[in-house]
Copies of this chain bind each other. A is one copy, B any other.
């Protein structure tokens, strides 16, 4: 039910039966306001998506708007999957990382790590992030973080995050622009292409890594690169995401290169959905093969073939694909004895 993309099954099998902290990194970038660049949310309300996603994962309710985030085509947020797994095989706890939200989630009792970070600007105009300070905040958090469960699943909700992920990788002079995914089935290449061009046009020849990141990236990517380095392999960490999490690793790769350093990555893995792993318009495997360190990567072999619900069938047709850690959540379900049938039913229940 869990398939390797790179590496073998042992890392993830060694986590079978263990409890994880589900950590959800939330951020807004004004890039999402570019018309048509993302479908991760309700038009005009897209900035609310991470807030609503996190409310729903924590409580089963959305509070900052009347409805759960869904695309104009009616594809419901992958938060439904993440929440569904939490009902069937609960995470040890859910913690939120506020990495620059327009609106804080209306939840009590849940740990919200606050780092005093502002939403970032549109990469089309230069994102204007203090990248070095943000990265350092990630490192500090990783160094000081004490996990109360046996491992961490790190997920994200960042509208237009695949675009900033792509700009980040290209800005850092990685190959493979064509390897990047989008929440759209028919990726709006013109809009992305323009945004990307505008974004990269701000980079100066002599810009260092952090100067580049400050212009073309987003908070989630930069902070989590620091978090991984700060955590320093001390506890198993599963990056729950697709090309965005791959981009986090591409930042780590460039920083290690800069420092002439290496990093032990035996406790680090990425896990995504089948929709990303088998996406014909992106190539997560190729992205991960750009890294100069070893990493295990997996996908959860789940789809909605057991469902008749039209909104869920859209996932199997290539819409939405990933987000809110859906792939890592599915993995967690499988590692804790939950069946495809049970997950399908649970997600369908939310749509009744």
Interface residues of A (CB under 8 A from B): 8-11, 13-14, 16-19, 58-61, 86-94, 107-110, 266, 335-338
Known: A10-B58, A14-B58, A14-B110. 10 other contacts (CB 8 A): A8-B59, A9-B60, A10-B109, A10-B110, A13-B110, A14-B93, A14-B109, A17-B92, A17-B93, A90-B336
Query: When chains A and B are docked, how far (Å) is the Cα of A89 from the Cα of B19?
Result: 13
A17 touches B61 (CB 8 A): no
B90 touches A59 (CB 8 A): no
B60 touches A108 (CB 8 A): no
Query: When chains A and B are docked, how far (Å) is the Cα of A61 from the Cα of B19?
Result: 23
Kindly provide the distance from the CB of A249 to the nearest chain B CB, expressed in whole angstroms. 20
Complex interface: chain B residues within 8 A of A92 (CB)? 17-18
Kindly provide the distance from the CB of A276 to the nearest chain B CB, expressed in whole angstroms. 23
A90 touches B10 (CB 8 A): no
A13 touches B60 (CB 8 A): yes
Complex interface: chain B residues within 8 A of A108 (CB)? 8, 10-11, 14
The chain B residue sitting closest to A15, CB to CB, is B109
The chain B residue sitting closest to A16, CB to CB, is B90
Q: List 7 A-B contacts (CB under 8 A).
A: A10-B107, A13-B60, A14-B58, A14-B93, A16-B94, A17-B86, A90-B336
Beyond A108-B8, A109-B11, is A90–B60 a contact (Cβ under 8 Å)? no
Query: When chains A and B are docked, how far (Å) is the Cα of A11 from the Cα of B108?
Result: 7
Query: When chains A and B are docked, how far (Å) is the Cα of A92 from the Cα of B58?
Result: 23
Query: When chains A and B are docked, how far (Å) is the Cα of A14 from the Cα of B110?
Result: 6
Which of A59, A60, A88, A337 has most B Cβ within 10 Å?
A337
Query: When chains A and B are docked, how far (Å) is the Cα of A13 from the Cα of B93?
Result: 10
Complex interface: chain B residues within 8 A of A19 (CB)? 17
Beyond A18-B93, A93-B18, is A337–B87 a contact (Cβ under 8 Å)? yes
The chain B residue sitting closest to A107, CB to CB, is B10
Complex interface: chain B residues within 8 A of A86 (CB)? 16-17
Query: When chains A and B are docked, how far (Å) is the Cα of A16 from the Cα of B87?
Result: 8
Query: When chains A and B are docked, how far (Å) is the Cα of A86 from the Cα of B337?
Result: 8
A9 touches B59 (CB 8 A): yes
Kindly provide the distance from the CB of A138 to the nearest chain B CB, expressed in whole angstroms. 25
Query: When chains A and B are docked, how far (Å) is the Cα of A90 from the Cα of B16?
Result: 6
Complex interface: chain B residues within 8 A of A107 (CB)? 10
A88 touches B9 (CB 8 A): no
B58 touches A13 (CB 8 A): yes
Kindly provide the distance from the CB of A171 to the nearest chain B CB, expressed in whole angstroms. 35
Query: When chains A and B are docked, how far (Å) is the Cα of A107 from the Cα of B335?
Result: 18
A90 touches B9 (CB 8 A): no
A59 touches B93 (CB 8 A): no
Query: When chains A and B are docked, how far (Å) is the Cα of A92 from the Cα of B337?
Result: 12
Complex interface: chain B residues within 8 A of A266 (CB)? 109
Which of A87, A94, A338 has most B Cβ within 10 Å?
A87
Which of A17, A89, A108 has most B Cβ within 10 Å?
A17
Complex interface: chain B residues within 8 A of A13 (CB)? 58-60, 109-110
B61 touches A9 (CB 8 A): yes
